[in-house]
Every structure is written in C-alpha cells, then in structure tokens.
C-alpha cells in the first residue's frame, strides 16, 4: 500500500486565517512573502498529527483553538540564535557592569531568549566581570519548545565552537557516551538564570521589580511599528532611570516616541 501522503499548497484564505491569528496572538507580522515559510513549518506539525491538508489543519485549529495555539506559535517562530551573537554587545555589557553597576545587585532580562544561548552568554560575561557577582537573569520566550532546550542547557558541540576555549572548559561539560557530540552548561552557570514563558504582547504579564539591563535582540524585527511601540513602552517601564536596552544589530528605536538615548550601535539608555 502506498503510504506517502501528498500535501496540497497552502491557499490564500487559509494563509490569511493563520497569519491573522499569529499577528493577534504573538505580534508576528507575516507578509505574503512568508507564505512558503509558513507552509513548510506547518507541514512538520501536520505530519506529527497525521493531518494531510492545510484546510484540515485550519479546521482542527478552529475546533481545538486553546489546545493547538501553542503548537502553532511554536512552529511559526524563528529561533535562530548563537552564543555571543553580535559580540560587540557583550563587551559593552561588561563595561557597563564594571563602570556603572559594580556596587549593586544586577537584574538582567533576556526577552525572546530562544534556546538560551543569549542568557548563558550574559551570565558568562557577568561572572567574568569585576563586580560583586550578585545577579539574576530572567530569560523569557513565547515558544515553549525552545524554553525546554534552554532549561536543559545541552547544545551540539558545533554550537559552542565560537566560545573561547578557556570559557568553554570553565562553563561547559563535554558530553560522553550517549551525549558524545554535545556540551552541557555547568550547573553553577544556570544557577542565576530563570527561564519563563512570556508573550511580550500579553497585557497581563507582571514582572517583579526593575531590570538594569534588557536584551531584546532580533525579536522586534518580526513585529510591525504598532507592536514594536507597545513592547518598547513596556521595556521602558521596566527599566530604572539609567537602565540599558540592547536591541539586535538590525533593529533600532527610530520613530518610536520614547525618551531613550542612543549609546552605541542598537544600545539605548533610559535617562
């Protein structure tokens, strides 16, 4: 018997239905050019479920919205990240910590942390910096699957190749036997980081206190101006006076009406 399922194309009506949901739920704007991407990412989910047409998937979603929406968001988000990505930011971070924050306990938020590389890179920089070493990092993402990976802190060896060899030895364990080919973050590096599921678009999340530094890099790029303004306003409110916001290299706060001051490439300070 032939068990190869043939999949049709995602039609415009179903694409519009899905992209409206993704926009309303996650703030992610999907242009017409993203149709092929949505189609291929959804295919993986449909295969998992044994569903053979996009139409059938959309019907399933309509009928099981509350159970399925998390899976839909998980398969649509783009999670590309790496250790010490956009590395100049980590030198700036160290300078800020040593020159301005060395007298206090530091709180950092990695918003849109994906699989955790950004949060662990921040933790390494803080542990290597000259200050009292009391810090906590909140790392959040809308995608529950990437958060599972972040919490485990186990990465293919290739993903840690760019880390300085001394740092690698100090902060990672080399996997053996069934973990050969993987590196695991040591427990003491995890200790100051908590990973939490947060949708930046959600009006109801409340976080305790302020963050001296917020990283939200390569997340805003998926939002339109309206959503960007809303999210940036929240970051502004969670920063104390003098706090720093790090965006991705390709992101800026141009045309956003908030009193942030430019400090360095995609780094801003609340004054």
Which residues from 5-64 bind ligand SAM, rule CB under 6 A? 26-28
Choose between 92 and 131: whose C-beta lies nearer to ligand SAM: 92
Count of beta carbons in the 10 Å neighbourhood of residue 29: 16
Which residues from 104-123 bind ligand SAM, rule CB under 6 A? 112-114, 118
Contacts with ligand SAM, 220-239, as mask; x by CB under 6 A: --x-----------------
Q: Which two tokens stand for residue 160?
A: 């840690």
Which residues from 74-93 bind ligand SAM, rule CB under 6 A? 77-81, 85
Cβ 198 vs Cβ 231: under 8 Å: no
Q: Which two tokens stand for residue 41?
A: 């990412």
* Chosen residue from 101, 124, 200, 232 binding ligand SAM by CB under 6 A: 200
Q: Which two tokens stand for residue 60?
A: 């399933």
User: Could you confirm whether 141 is annotated as catalytic?
Assistant: yes
Choose between 11 and 78: whose C-beta lies nearer to ligand SAM: 78
Residue 262 Cα to chain centre, angstroms: 23
Q: Where are the alpha helices (DSSP H) in 4-134?
A: 12-26, 35-49, 54-63, 65-76, 88-100, 117-128
Catalytic residue among 14, 141, 143, 212: 141
CB of 202 to ligand SAM, least distance (A): 8
Choose between 139 and 189: whose C-beta lies nearer to ligand SAM: 139
User: Could you confirm whether 14 is annotated as catalytic?
Assistant: no
Choose between 29 and 174: whose C-beta lies nearer to ligand SAM: 29
> How many chain residues are in contact with ligand SAM, going by CB under 6 A?
25
In the chain, helix, strand, coil percent, each to 5? 45, 15, 40
Q: Which two tokens stand for residue 230?
A: 């809303």
> What are the Cα distances from residue 79, in Å, to 37, 97, 114, 169?
14, 28, 5, 26
Count of beta carbons in the 10 Å neighbourhood of residue 75: 18
* Number of Cα atoms under 13 Å in the Cβ half of residue 160: 24
Catalytic residue among 41, 45, 55, 151: 41
* Chosen residue from 160, 219, 232, 267 binding ligand SAM by CB under 6 A: 219
Choose between 169 and 225: whose C-beta lies nearer to ligand SAM: 225
Write out the residues near ligand SAM by the rule CB under 6 A.
26-28, 77-81, 85, 112-114, 118, 141-143, 146, 199-201, 217-219, 222, 248
Catalytic residue ranges: 41, 141
């Amino acid at each position: 018997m032939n068990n190869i399922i043939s999949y049709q194309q995602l039609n415009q009506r179903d694409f519009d239905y899905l992209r409206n949901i993704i926009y309303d739920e996650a703030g992610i704007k999907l242009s017409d050019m993203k149709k092929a991407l949505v189609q291929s990412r959804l295919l993986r989910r449909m295969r998992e479920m044994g569903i053979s047409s996009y139409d059938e998937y959309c019907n399933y979603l309509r009928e099981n919205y509350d159970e399925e929406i998390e899976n839909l968001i998980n398969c649509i988000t783009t999670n590309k990240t790496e250790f010490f990505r956009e590395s100049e930011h980590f030198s700036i971070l160290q300078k800020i910590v040593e020159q301005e924050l060395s007298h206090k306990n530091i709180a950092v938020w990695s918003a849109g942390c994906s699989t955790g590389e950004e949060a662990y890179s921040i933790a390494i920089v803080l542990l290597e910096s000259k200050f009292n070493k009391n810090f906590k990092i909140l790392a959040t993402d809308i995608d529950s699957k990437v958060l599972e990976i972040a919490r485990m802190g186990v990465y293919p060896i290739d993903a840690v190749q760019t880390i300085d060899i001394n740092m690698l030895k100090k902060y990672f364990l080399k996997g053996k036997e069934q973990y050969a080919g993987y590196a695991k973050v040591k427990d003491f590096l995890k200790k100051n980081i908590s990973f939490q599921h947060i949708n930046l678009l959600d009006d109801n999340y409340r976080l305790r206190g302020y963050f001296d530094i917020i990283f939200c890099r390569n997340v805003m790029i998926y939002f339109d101006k309206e959503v960007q303004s809303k999210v940036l306003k929240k970051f502004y409110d969670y920063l104390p006076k003098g706090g720093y916001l790090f965006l991705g290299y390709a992101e800026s706060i141009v045309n956003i009406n908030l009193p942030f001051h430019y400090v360095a490439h995609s780094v801003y300070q609340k004054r």
